[in-house]
Chains A and B, each alone.
Chain A
Amino acid sequence: MKKAFPILGVLTAILLSYALYQALVVAPTEQTMGNVQRIFYYHVPSAWTAFILFFVNFGASIVYLMTRKTAADIVALVTAEVGVVFCTVVLVTGPIWARPVWGIWWTWDMRLTSTLVLWLIYVSYLFLRRFSSGGQTPSLAAALAVLGALCVPFVYFSIWFFRTQHPQPVMGGGGSIDPRMLHALLINWLAFSCFAFLVCWSRYRLERLQRDVDQAHALQSLLDPRGSPR
């Protein structure tokens, strides 16, 4: 396992550089939008990665509620953290693209609004984790994660009633896309997923170590009340 981490790191670096080359050089320039369209190769893969991470967070939270395994709790924590980062990337790259193409930074359209609400839900999850202390955090956070995930379809359906301005989804939307563009998109998605996995993994190890250290400190102060933890 120890060796797998640097190998994955190198692999991710290669994939990311290849994906960058694909997105900036190989993929053809879009006819009407021009080069600004290339942000799409970062925007869409980040969104997909964030959704996957939030989904894993939901699964890990259910597993935690059923088994009370620490590992499940840590997975839920790190996927929420990294998911919020990717979701932030989506919310930042969107307006950068929208300004030259739509002429506005932001519109209260279905996809934009539901992504923003999703982001709000998971930020509130991170707030809860930060503000609650001690051993009760995992259960409270898991309960919130389950409610938050159940909220997502409601968010989607309620905002569905607003008029949609966002471009139709690339996959299954029936739109035509140059195969080289699709290739660049998928490669970027793969690279981003690997990157997210790598960050989650390293964050997982860090959190694990942190908890071990905390536990050792607590144990030491129990055994030796006079001595301060070294």
Chain B
Amino acid sequence: MTPPTGITRVTLLKDLRLEWRSKDAINSMLFFSLLVVVVFSFSFDPSAEESRQIAGGLIWVAFLFAAVVALNQTWAREIRNQVLDAYRVSPAPANALFLAKTLGNFIFVSVLEALMTPLFIMFYRLRALGPAWQLIPVTALGTWALVVNGTFFAAMSLRTRSREIMLPLLLFPISIPALLAMVQATTAILSGENSARFWIVLLVTYDLVFTTMCLLLFETVLNAE
């Protein structure tokens, strides 16, 4: 029997290959967040000082909305041809599948962030006054928080009517603490006014708790009948 790590790896590679060939998720996410950036810059028209204060919020709202686009597609792919049903009857552990999907989404959203960040810096004339290297752990932890809950709730909303509407309804309220932490940490680093340490610790704890709980509960969600 294939060990769980093997199943995770195979599923992850399959998703990456599918995405590499179609580029559906990444293209739609990129275009979507580009739209958000443009629309926001019309509505605020900020100076460099103001944009430092609001950029944290803008960036994360753009990434959150864009991530929802990708998350909605995660499981839809497995519904066609009954792949998910096949997975459910197979003896493979549900967690391995969940982990693979989460890692896949993490990679997609990270690529999006890597591509969009220069654009943000350019459009909003950003320059960090605090320790800029801290943006890396904040981004990684924040993205993980979004993606782990997002993958979980996408699987959950798959079982409901009008699933595309359901995902943000479930994901956003639970993500509020993580979102607040990401936005505040980013603003703290960009403006250099106070330390982001509290928010980073909060994000680490949030990630640990929610990753554990999602892994524990995923089997219930996958096999809910």
Binding site for B on A (CB under 8 A): 65, 117, 120-121, 123-124, 127-128, 131-133, 135-136, 139-140, 142-144, 146-148, 150-151, 154-155, 157-159, 161
Contact = CB atoms under 8 A, between A and B. Distances in A.
12 contacts: A127-B166, A127-B170, A128-B170, A140-B221, A147-B152, A148-B174, A150-B213, A151-B174, A151-B176, A155-B177, A157-B177, A157-B202
A144 B177 contact: no
Given A65-B220, A143-B217, 9 more contacts: A117-B173, A117-B176, A128-B160, A128-B169, A133-B160, A143-B156, A143-B221, A151-B176, A154-B205
B181 interface: yes
B174 A140 contact: no
Nearest to A65: B220
A157 B220 CA distance: 29
A121 B170 CA distance: 8
B165 to A, nearest CB: 8
A65 B181 CA distance: 30
Contacts of B80: none
A127 B168 CA distance: 11
A120 B225 CA distance: 27
B159 A146 contact: no
Contacts of B170: 124, 127-128, 144
A66 B152 CA distance: 20
B133 interface: no
Contacts of B169: 124, 127-128
Contact of B173 (A120, A133, A146, A161): A120
Contacts of A159: 177, 180
Interface residue tally on B, bucketed by range: 20 to 34
Contacts of A139: 220-221, 224
A128 B213 contact: no
Interface in B208-225: 209-210, 213-214, 217, 220-221, 224-225
A117 B210 CA distance: 17
Contacts of B209: 150, 154
Contacts of A132: 159-161
Contacts of B191: none
B213 A147 contact: yes
Given A131-B162, A154-B202, A140 B224 contact: yes
B206 A131 contact: no
Contacts of B178: 154
B44 interface: no
B42 interface: no
Nearest to B180: A158
B54 to A, nearest CB: 15
B159 A136 contact: yes
B217 A158 contact: no
A136 B213 contact: no
Contacts of A161: 184, 198
A11 B221 CA distance: 42
Contacts of B177: 117, 151, 154-155, 157-159
B156 A140 contact: yes
A128 B161 contact: no
Nearest to B163: A131
A147 B217 contact: yes
Interface string B80-108: 00000000000000000000000000000
A84 to B, nearest CB: 12
Given A127-B169, A139-B220, A139-B224, A144 B156 contact: yes
A140 B213 contact: no
A217 B220 CA distance: 28
A121 B173 contact: yes
A142 B178 CA distance: 22
Interface string B11-48: 00000000000000000000000000000000000000
Contacts of A65: 217, 220
